[in-house]
Amino acid sequence: MARSALTEAALILVAAFASSLSSSSHYDGVMAAEVKPHNIVFILGDDIGWNEVPWNNPEVLMPNLYSLYNSSVQLPQYYAHPICSPSRAALLTGLYSHKTGRQRFVLVESEPTGLTLNHTLLPQKLKDLGYATHLVGKWHLGFCDVAYTPLHRGYDTHYGFYAYGEHYYTHETMGNESPIGFDFRDQDRVAWETKGSYSEFLFAERTEHLLLNAKVEGKPFFLQLASQNIHYPLEVPKIYEDLYPDNDFLIDKLRYAMLSALDDTIGKVVRTLKEEGLYDNTVIVFSSDNGAELGDLHGNLPLRGFKWSSFEGGTRVPAFIHSPLLGLEPRVHKGLFHITDWFNTILDIAMEGEEMSADELHHNDGFSQWSALKSGAPSPRTHLIYNLDIVNEKPKGAIRRDNFKYVTGELGSSDIGRHGPWLFNLDVDPNEKKNLMDEEPEVAADMEKELHQYLKDVITSDVPLGDSSGDPDNFGGAWSPGWCTAT
């Protein structure tokens, strides 16, 4: 008996459906659906201390950031390196800074060096996966050779500055270690037209533009918003100072005002994502690069220490991850999380649902935390290195294993003149007030031995003498590439 036309049509539909299931890499057992690669917005604040976010200090007015935090996976045990260049290198390589030579100091403008070229950086990995990659704001990983600069390290676009710090309106560097020069770029071009405009406003405008274009382009994107706020010098429009009329401590008032300016940018980012229909498939990360400066007396309270030190105040910084993909009920990820973990975590986000090759898993110092963040499982990390260096043939740095932390070679803050060693139990003493070296001698000995085992991985700190070849006067007044050879 001949099949009816209806039966033939049904068989064709069934065959087509079966074919679509077999070709899809995402199948839930009932039906398959194409899963779009997730967008990633990484907001990296500069020198924002533990006590300079609204969930730790109600005096700080950042309603947009606070709203994200209150619907995020919160990271109270999150760590960065003690200073800027090391943290940025760790984020983009997944390696501790003592393995890239960045562990001792920040890069200054006149140094003929940069983040070595033998590392494939995170944006390049994402670009290879089909992502559009953007950097808005601060780079601070070298520029003396164009090969060191963002457009040659995996970013499709860069709008911002190369060096470690500058004035917010003039965009001229501060001249602390090097000559004064203009430092602001739109791609490779010196963006002289930005002179006189507040940097945070410029970054907000460019970020909005990139998000609007992202909808048109239709590609998944990685957008790193590396704000200048709240790095010195402390400069901010008066409208933000006026938000703090009762704060008589000038440093706090200016820093909080700068944070409020950053918060306006964050609000614009979230609003644009929602208006363009991008929000539901976007992961938003917020992190500081290190703790607050020594001169900011209240920035890291109640934690001990400041930027530049391996104490908690220099390294334990505010962070969270927010996305409808994780649910919008606030959760606390109680385990350890280090800035090196973002490399593998973000790759895992980009590759979700796909088998990752050994190269894509990228064996480094980071752990992918994406599965734990989604499920609420414990962190895969049980130890971390805060920083590690060899100074005058002696180790300097700190390590953590579970709740114990061992510190040596650091200059103490409450016990001036002492360089350690210290042993702390951060579970009961998060503010590092009680040295347990005498009470826990076996633990101290084990951790000292462990720290010494890591010394074999320390490469010589890359801090060359400044080179006058890079003087901005040689390049029309702007800090520019072209006066060193990248390695």
> Same domain for 51 and 151?
yes
Same domain, 371 and 414: no
Catalytic residue among 38, 81, 84, 144: 84
Same structural domain, 390 and 278 = no
Q: Is-catalytic flag, 84?
A: yes
The separation between CA 353 and the C-alpha centre of its own chain, rounded to angstroms, equals 25
Domain with 429 in it: 384-457
| In a domain? residue 49 | yes
pLDDT in tens, 75-107: 999 999 999 999 999 999 999 999 999 999 999
User: Does residue 364 fall inside a structural domain?
Assistant: yes
Residue type, 205: E
Give the chain's domain count. Answer: 2
Task: Indicate the residue among 360, 381, 402 that finishes a domain.
Answer: 381
Chain-centre distance for alpha carbon 40: 12
> Residue 397 belongs to a domain with what CATH number?
3.30.1120.10
Catalytic residue among 38, 98, 134, 140: 140
Backbone phi and psi for residue 256, each to the nearest 5 degrees, phi listed first: -65, -40
- Please give the Cα distance from 168 to 345 (Å, whole number): 33
**CA–CA separation, 21 vs 38, rounded Å?**
22
- 436 secondary structure, DSSP code: -
Tens digit of pLDDT at every position of the chain (487 positions):
333 333 333 333 333 333 333 333 332 333 334 578 999 999 999 999 999 999 999 999 999 999 999 999 999 999 999 999 999 999 999 999 999 999 999 999 999 999 999 999 999 999 999 999 999 999 999 999 999 999 999 999 999 999 999 999 999 999 888 999 999 999 999 999 999 999 999 999 999 999 999 988 889 999 999 999 999 999 999 999 999 999 989 999 999 999 999 999 999 999 999 999 999 999 999 999 999 998 888 999 999 999 999 999 999 999 999 999 999 999 999 999 999 999 999 999 999 866 666 565 667 999 999 999 999 999 999 999 999 999 989 999 999 999 999 999 987 655 555 788 999 999 999 999 999 999 999 999 999 999 999 999 999 999 999 999 999 999 999 999 999 999 8
This prediction's pTM: 0.91
Angle among Cα 232, 239, 241 to the nearest 5 degrees reads 50
**Whether 484 is catalytic:** no
| 331 within domain boundaries | yes
Q: Measured between alpha carbons, how far is residue 371 from residues 143, 344, 348, 379, 381 in Å?
A: 36, 11, 9, 9, 13
Q: Specify whether 47 is located in the same domain as 170.
A: yes
Residue 443 maps to a domain: yes
